[in-house]
Amino acid sequence: METEQKSIRALKCEQSVLSRADGSVMFSQGNTVVMASVYGPLEAKIQKELSDRMYVEVNYKPKIGMPGVAERGKEKLVKTTCNHIILTNLHPRTAVCITIQEMQDGGTLLSASINAVCLALLDSGLPLQCLVAAVTCLVDKKDKIVLDPCIRTVKEGYKAMFTFAFDSQKYNLILSHCEGQVPYTLFQEAMELCQKASHIIFDFYRQAVLRKFSKELL
Amino acid sequence: MKETPLSICEKQCVVQAVKEGQRIDGRSLSEQRKPCITFGTEWGCCQVLLGNTRVMAQVSCSIQVPKSSRANEGMLFINVEMSTMAAEHFEAGRLGQQGIEVNRLVERCIKDSRCVDLESLCILVEEQAWEVRVDIHVLNHEGNLIDAATLAALGALCHFKRPDVTLDGREVIVHQLDERDPVPLTILHYPLTLSFALFDQGKIYALDPTNLEERSADGKLVLGLNAYRELCTLQISGDGVFIRKEAVLSCANVAASRAVEMVEMLKKCLAADAAERIKGKYDGLVSSVALEAERVTTQSQARTYFKAPAHNLEENADEESLPVPKIKLVKDQGIVTLQTRSDASSSESDTEMDPLPPVPVVKKRVYEEIDIGNDSEEESVMLITNELT
């Protein structure tokens, strides 16, 4: 099979965009725009306090209506990813509050949210074990794998949609969220493709952080 | 998390400066921060930046049964959302006292002034009407949430377009957005709020207070005005504030001229947005992400191409030659289980089934890189069995 050219849509970010949050970012992937903010380490509520580590709280806010079950699902996925990458043992009995606001839906909200949260955590200075990059791909009705689909492709219908998140050290799989039904070979192909694509996102993080510290503070 | 308490020296500094006619950020007492308005790709999405205060509003609509007291009108619902993103003391999902105040003032300015023509939103009297919902999200709180929220809500309402509806006798047909062009709302006038922070028991007032000025102030005066200099809303709050009527009138004059300018600016931004859309390749809020590209906190990267990893399908057997295990339902004393061929005891057709082909090389390679854990040869096809037996 010939290897074809796959692509990740244009990435843009602005760090420290909110003046009050400890870490914040406005992140766009293609036409999807997401804002993430991190406050931490904060004083934890007594019910949520953990004696040996930091409690990670994630709030996902949709643009329209009240948060429902789908939002709670996304929150859980982001929360498990964050629990893996944040060194929670260093700040026991505190909490970190991560809020994700949907600004514009251009498809791939879950992976854009995870990427935005990673950048916001970098901006906040919380100690991290590794970085995380999430990539979405979908298998359309003709069994073709589309990487980083736009909203029009998603609305046309698909056989399956996968979101994979990888760590920055060994590119191991941290999170895998799948909807739909496909043969195993397609699933593997999608995962390999997303793994390769995650390199681009890690590169983007590196460039963003390098640029932020490129000027000397007077 | 509680809000950091305001220290006495901070408060005294602000109050002293205001008494001398100066403000911390260098503005004059009747100068407003310059608002920055951007719109999104979806109709009815508006983001407003008032200095560092950032608010986003989104309008949506749905068909509901109209209220029995106003059977020939549509409905307008305004909802303000404040989350921890805006400030550490805000709780997600619950509006505190400040949130309720913002919500109520935006409602009074926009809903009670009847700036949106609700009668045009009626489809079938007493049966169907449009309910327009405005969700206002406060993203960053650096003072004067009321003005930013009202401006965002008004901008979103002016920007919004609802689906076109045709009545075929008693039948209502809602057209999709690609079928027929959506229809904008009828806005009768453009009301905006302007807030003043009151110092020295109401003798001195500062327009568009920052967070620090708001907290140090004795009280607040909120005026709702439209482009025709008509007063829509008035609220004075704060204990120990004795504001004289001349002061209210002079505030109203300052606010009225500012309101006219703001409505002009809003109309210009709407026209610019419409022009951008016609050009094509409209990306909405994306252009506001790295707005000042020379800042070191921004980073942009164009669409990046790479070569997909080679997936050797020749080594794999074709789909047809991989035997698909036939799954049949077996009822055993009322318990239904799914049996694959391999564990069916009656073996009439067992001999036909070839042994499963060995796992192709590619799969093993993936396991080394991805490290899922279980490298059983039979795993690929036998997964269903493991779960059910």
Q: Determine which of B299, B356, B364 to mutate to test the interface with A (most A C-beta atoms within 10 Å).
A: B299
Residue B358 lies in a domain: yes
User: Could you tell me which chain B residue has the CA closest to the CA of A204?
Assistant: B301
Residue B319 lies in a domain: no
Residue ranges of alpha helices (H) inside chain B are 8-19, 97-110, 145-159, 211-216, 245-279, 361-370, 379-388
Q: What is the CATH number of domain A11-217?
A: 3.30.230.70
Q: Which residues of B touch A42 (CB under 8 A)?
A: 1, 88
CA distance A121 to chain B (A): 14
B218 and B150 in a common domain: yes
Residue length of chain A = 218
Question: In 3D, which of A184, A137, A170, A114 has the Cα closest to residue B370?
Answer: A170
Query: What are the residue boundaries of the structural domains of chain A, listed by start?
Result: 11-217
B328 and B289 in a common domain: no
Q: Is residue A125's pLDDT more than 50?
A: yes
**Ramachandran quadrant class, B17 (left: phi over 0; alpha: psi -120 to 50; beta: rest):** alpha
Angle at the Cα of B192 from the Cα atoms of B189 and B194, rounded to 5 degrees? 150
**Which of A102-111, A138-147, B102-111, B238-247 is least confident?**
B238-247
Residue B174 lies in a domain: yes
Quote the DSSP letter at residue B94: B
**Ramachandran quadrant class, B119 (left: phi over 0; alpha: psi -120 to 50; beta: rest):** alpha
Query: CB distance A19–B319 less than 8 Å?
Result: no
Mean pLDDT of chain A: 93
B253 and B367 in a common domain: no
Q: Which residues of B touch A197 (CB under 8 A)?
A: 306
Give the pLDDT confidence score for residue B2 in this predicted structure: 82
Task: Give the total number of structural domains in chain B.
Answer: 2
Is the reported ipTM for this assembly greater than 0.90? yes
Q: Which of B85, B299, B362 sits opposite A13 (nearest CB)?
A: B299
Per-residue pLDDT for chain B (389 aa), expressed as one digit of tens each? Answer: 788 899 999 999 999 999 999 999 999 999 999 999 999 999 999 999 999 999 999 999 999 999 999 999 999 999 999 999 999 999 888 899 999 999 999 999 999 999 999 999 999 989 999 999 999 999 999 999 999 999 999 999 999 999 999 988 888 899 988 889 999 999 999 999 999 999 988 889 999 999 999 999 999 999 999 999 999 999 999 887 888 889 899 999 999 999 999 999 999 999 999 999 999 888 889 888 877 778 888 888 888 888 887 766 544 444 444 455 555 556 666 566 666 555 444 444 444 445 555 544 444 444 444 444 555 554 444 444 444 44
Segments forming the whole domain that contains residue B334: 324-385
Q: Which residue has the higher pLDDT, A98 or B177?
A: A98
B48 and B157 in a common domain: yes
Of B295, B314, B339, the position where a domain reaches its end is B295
Distances in Å between the Cα of B148 and the Cα atoms of B4, B34, B261, B361 are: 23, 11, 15, 60
In three-state form (DSSP H/G/I as H, E/B as E, the rest C), the secondary structure along chain B is: CCCCCCCHHHHHHHHHHHHCCCCCCCCCCCCCCCEEEEECCCCCEEEEEECCEEEEEEEEEEEECCCCCCCCCCEEEEEEEECCCCCCCCECCECCHHHHHHHHHHHHHHCCCCCECCHHHEEECCCEEEEEEEEEEEEECCCCHHHHHHHHHHHHHHHCEECCEEEECCEEEECCCCCCCCEECCECCCCEEEEEEEECCCCEEEECCCHHHHHHCCEEEEEEECCCCCEEEEEEECCCCCCCHHHHHHHHHHHHHHHHHHHHHHHHHHHHHHHHHHHCCCCHHHHHCCCCCCCCCEEEECCEEEECCCCCCCCCCCCCCCCCCCCEEEEECCEEEEECHHHCCCCCCHHHCCCCCCCCHHHHHHHHHHCCCCCCCCHHHHHHHHHHC
Residue B312 lies in a domain: no
B329 and B269 in a common domain: no
Strand partners, A52: none
CB atoms within 10 A of CB A59: 20
B369 and B246 in a common domain: no
Query: CB distance A195–B60 less than 8 Å?
Result: no
What whole-number distance in Å separates Cα of residue A121 and Cα of residue A127? Answer: 8
Give the pLDDT confidence score for residue A135 in this predicted structure: 96
Of B295, B312, B344, the position where a domain reaches its end is B295
Tell me the one-letter amino acid at B64: Q
Give the pLDDT confidence score for residue A110 in this predicted structure: 96
Q: Which residues of A touch B40 (CB under 8 A)?
A: 33, 103-104
B46 and B120 in a common domain: yes
- What CATH number is attached to the domain comprising B217? 3.30.230.70
Give the pLDDT confidence score for residue B310 in this predicted structure: 74
Residue B211 lies in a domain: yes
What whole-number distance in Å separates Cα of residue B34 and Cα of residue B359? Answer: 65
What whole-number distance in Å separates Cα of residue B373 and Cα of residue B351? Answer: 32
Residue B316 lies in a domain: no
Residue B33 lies in a domain: yes
B161 and B98 in a common domain: yes
What whole-number distance in Å separates Cα of residue B51 and Cα of residue B49? Answer: 6
B370 and B275 in a common domain: no
B331 and B291 in a common domain: no
B278 and B356 in a common domain: no
Cα atoms found within 13 Å of the Cα of residue B296, Cβ hemisphere only: 10
Query: CB distance A188–B363 less than 8 Å?
Result: yes
Residue ranges of alpha helices (H) inside B204-351 are 211-216, 245-279
Give the pLDDT confidence score for residue B122 in this predicted structure: 93
Q: Which two tokens stand for residue B205?
A: 């007032």
Quote the DSSP letter at residue A214: S
Is B283 in contact with B38 (CB distance < 8 Å)? no
Largest CA distance in chain A: 58
CA distance A161 to chain B (A): 18
pLDDT digits (tens, 9 = 90+) for A9-36: 999 999 999 999 999 999 999 999 999 9
B349 and B221 in a common domain: no
Residue B314 lies in a domain: no
User: Could you tell me which chain A residue has the CA closest to the CA of B38?
Assistant: A103
Strand partners, A158: A140
What whole-number distance in Å separates Cα of residue B283 and Cα of residue B288? Answer: 10
